[in-house]
Amino acid sequence: MSVNKEIKRVTTRTVQEMKLRGEKVSMLTAYDYSLATIVDDAGVDIILVGDSASNVMAGHETTLPITLDQMIYHAASVVRAAKRALVVVDLPFGSYQGNSKEALNSAIRIMKEAGAHAVKIEGGVEIAESVTRILTAGIPVMGHLGLTPQSIYKFGTYTVRAKEEAEAQKLREDAAKLQELGCFGVVLEKIPAQLAKEVTESLSIPTIGIGAGQHCDGQVLVIHDMLGINKGFKPRFLRQYASLYDVMNDAIKSYVSDVKSSDFPNEKEQY
Ligand SMILES: Nc1nc(=O)c2c([nH]1)NC[C@@H]1CN(c3ccc(C(=O)N[C@@H](CCC(=O)O)C(=O)O)cc3)CN21
Ligand SMILES: CC(C)C(=O)C(=O)O
Ligand SMILES: [Mg+2]
């Protein structure tokens, strides 16, 4: 794995040990080399190359349009930047739902062509065969339950999931199944904090929450959301740590103004 002697690489085992120690796991998305460098350097444990790239990078309404080739392009860029973080890559919509062979082939392409360390896959018992097949090939798998954006057209909304007992019970069973199959962790998205607490306490693998409350073993956010680059998106679960939209907008306005006024470039900025 890591050949760098100064920086100790986070592994799937590391994050499982963190749960045992009671140390929270930090996870953020990144989709390109520059931002991934900043994220890695800041000490984030896991970088997720999320299919949210479909929204954030490509401007699509949903995560459905992004392709496996596009995910691999983003992932390869992130892997080149990540010296310490564990790099997990989403299997995009349409790259695994067909059958377990398709799922395995997609996971292998992500590992081989991008150099990723693990894959993440949305769903529970219904994808058990695919998860098993990927794990059997030696590829670590992270689960994703609750609000699963690739199924948005089945649900119709991005509201909180598993508020009803039947859906909560299905989620408990799905989480137990993913652990039993050998997943190294599971993302819990937009579910009641009490349910996330129960699931977290019942599992030995870490739960990483987004809109799933304070009891999860770790937290994940989309980097553009938490940096305030993505101005329109402000759900309740999001804490915005900067307002980079404004910072960048001001800088760009200054540049435009300096070009227009012939202030840029000056004598020192030319040859
Ligand atoms: N930029 C970005 N951030 C994300 O967190 C994210 C993506 N993209 N794309 C993929 C999924 C989709 N996710 C989402 C999408 C919407 C809400 C949401 O809560 N939206 C609104 C309306 C919810 C409702 O209909 O009640 C909100 O204000 O809460 C949450 C997570 C999380 N992921
Ligand atoms: C929101 C996180 C968990 C995700 O799956 C993504 O960024 O695609
Ligand atoms: Mg995703």
Can you say whether the dihedral through the CA atoms of 133, 82, 33, 28 is positive or negative? positive
User: From start to end of 57-152, where are the E strands?
Assistant: 86-90, 118-122, 141-146
Most ligand 2 atoms within 8 A of CB, residue of 48, 66, 219, 225 to mutate: 48
Nearest Cα to Cα of residue 53 among 38, 41, 35: 35
What are the φ and ψ backbone dihedral angles of 189, each rounded to 5 degrees?
Answer: -110, 125
Strand partners, 219: 26, 209
113 labeled binding residue: no
Q: Residue 203 in contact with residue 186, Cβ under 8 Å?
A: yes
52 labeled binding residue: yes
Q: Residue 116 in contact with residue 49, Cβ under 8 Å?
A: yes
Task: Name the pTM for this structure.
Answer: 0.96
Tokens coding 245 = 């939209």
ipTM here: 0.95
- 223-235: pLDDT as tens digits: 999 999 988 899 9
Query: Which residue's alpha carbon is at the smallest distance from atom 2 of ligand 2?
Result: 50
- 16-60: pLDDT as tens digits: 999 999 999 999 999 999 999 999 999 999 999 999 999 999 999
Q: Residue 79 in contact with residue 110, Cβ under 8 Å?
A: no
